[in-house]
């Protein structure tokens, strides 16, 4: 990539996102996390600062091939969920972002701690080797169940992720917090007077 290429990426993709993330998140009603970002957090504390993590083995959820932290990206840096999971409003699958989404920032941002730098090196290597990371899927329903994300987001809003996924923006490593069992689905459908027809959810 040419110099002007990555500078454009920095300006448009990276700084643009980081700068606009706060109002975008506020508008979308995205939950603001532990520190509340932007100063709206509990006790009037400063912006959320993702902790340094020494013992990664004790984190809940599966270990991913690259230690990608939602508490840093979505929490501390306030990148909106939809920046990376952009199809959640239009498709049944929110999608996991392609490396291209990462590299716009990480060609420039190399990391401010040794562990960040080491993990970001893996992102750069994956990009130059054209070997996208094999992310381990965490939430998965059996094949006979239909779950349209977009229908839920349309009614519950773009900030509804927290209702089903918990406070992902505070998670260093994503883990499943809801059971995803039939009773869990049906309970919310009953509360919100949404269909409970077997055929709505089952093929
Ligand atoms: C900078 C890009 C980026 C942002 C911003 C981001 N994510 Fe992610 N998300 C990813 C990547 C990459 C993965 C796969 C690796 C992992 O699980 O950590 C992922 C995985 C997930 C998963 C687990 C998927 C599975 O396999 O079940 C959930 C749930 C999720 N994100 C929700 C969110 C929510 C909610 C937000 C906003 C609070 C958010 N994400 C913001 C990139 C992002
Ligand atoms: C809008 C800019 C931006 C995007 C897009 C982005 N990152 Fe980051 N990323 C950052 C910043 C800022 C940091 C913190 C760097 C530091 O100070 O160490 C970071 C840190 C990291 C780190 C170090 C550990 C951690 O997670 O904090 C990894 C690994 C990483 N990013 C991977 C990714 C991957 C994989 C993607 C794509 C799914 C991605 N990033 C997308 C800005 C971005
Ligand atoms: C009503 C509950 C609910 C809401 C709201 C919700 N999700 Fe999900 N999410 C699920 C379920 C259930 C699955 C597993 C779906 C499957 O296996 O078919 C899932 C799976 C995912 C995955 C992994 C799927 C993939 O494509 O790899 C991601 C990423 C994700 N959700 C992100 C989000 C984001 C971001 C939001 C908010 C914009 C959100 N979800 C809102 C219930 C929900
Ligand atoms: C937090 C509440 C909540 C949870 C949990 C939830 N849903 Fe929903 N569901 C809704 C709402 C709200 C709608 C939108 C109804 C509408 O379009 O008016 C919806 C719509 C649907 C639809 C479309 C129904 C139709 O009319 O065709 C399906 C299918 C569905 N949900 C499946 C599931 C499954 C499967 C689960 C569990 C894995 C689940 N839902 C969990 C609230 C929820
Ligand atoms: C709102 C969505 C939803 C509705 C409505 C729904 N189901 Fe389910 N069902 C699920 C989900 C999600 C699973 C998979 C998770 C589980 O087994 O709890 C499931 C699993 C099942 C299973 C397999 C259970 C097992 O242990 O393997 C059967 C059988 C089933 N449903 C029958 C029905 C029947 C009959 C109805 C209508 C009376 C119905 N479902 C309505 C979401 C739904």
Mean pLDDT of 166-183: 98
- Token digits for 58? 């004790």
The rounded percent of the chain whose pLDDT value lies above 70 is 77
Encode pLDDT of 96-107 as tens digits: 999 999 999 999
The domain limits of the chain are 23-28+60-200
Report the nearest-CA residue for atom 2 of ligand 4: 188
For the CA of 162, the nearest atom of ligand 1: 35
Calculate the average pLDDT of the chain: 83
151 alpha carbon – ligand 5 mean position (Å): 19
Residue 137 in 3-state DSSP?
coil
Which residues, 6 or more positions from 159, have their beta carbon under 8 angstroms from its beta carbon? 28, 29, 30, 31
Report the nearest-CA residue for atom 13 of ligand 1: 96
> Which spans in 55-129 are helix H?
70, 81-84, 99-106, 114-128
DSSP letters along 110-126, please? Answer: --SSHHHHHHHHHHHHH
Q: Of all helices (H) and strands (E), which one includes residue 8?
A: helix 3-8
The rounded percent of the chain whose pLDDT value lies above 90 is 69
Closest alpha carbon to 116 in 63, 51, 202: 51
pLDDT of residue 18: 53
94 neighbors 149 (Cβ within 8 angstroms): yes
pLDDT of residue 55: 86
Mean pLDDT of 42-54: 73
Across-strand partners of 202? 145
Which pLDDT band holds residue 93 (cuts at 50, 70, 90)? confident
Is the torsion defined by CA of 137, 124, 107, 130 positive or negative?
negative
Lowest mean pLDDT of 5-14, 38-47, 116-125, name the range: 5-14
Ligand 2 contacts CB of residue 17 (under 6 A): yes
Report the nearest-CA residue for atom 27 of ligand 4: 200
């Amino acid at each position: 990539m040419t110099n002007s290429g990555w500078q454009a990426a920095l300006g448009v993709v990276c700084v643009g996102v980081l700068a606009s993330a706060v109002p975008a998140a506020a508008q979308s009603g995205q939950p603001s996390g532990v520190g509340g970002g932007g100063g709206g957090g509990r006790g009037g504390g400063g912006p959320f600062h993702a902790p340094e993590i020494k013992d990664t083995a004790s984190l809940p959820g599966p270990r991913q091939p690259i230690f990608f932290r939602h508490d840093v990206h979505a929490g501390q840096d306030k990148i909106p969920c939809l920046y990376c999971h952009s199809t959640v409003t239009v498709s049944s699958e929110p999608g996991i972002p392609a490396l291209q989404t990462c590299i716009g920032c990480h060609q420039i941002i190399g990391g401010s701690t040794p562990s960040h730098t080491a993990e970001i090196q893996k992102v750069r290597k994956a990009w130059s080797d054209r070997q996208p990371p094999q992310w381990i899927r965490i939430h998965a329903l059996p094949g006979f169940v239909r779950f349209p994300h977009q229908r839920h987001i349309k009614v519950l809003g773009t900030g509804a992720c927290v209702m089903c996924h918990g406070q992902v923006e505070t998670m260093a490593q994503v883990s499943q917090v809801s059971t995803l069992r039939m009773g869990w689905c049906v309970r919310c459908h009953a509360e919100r007077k949404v269909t409970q027809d077997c055929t709505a959810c089952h093929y």
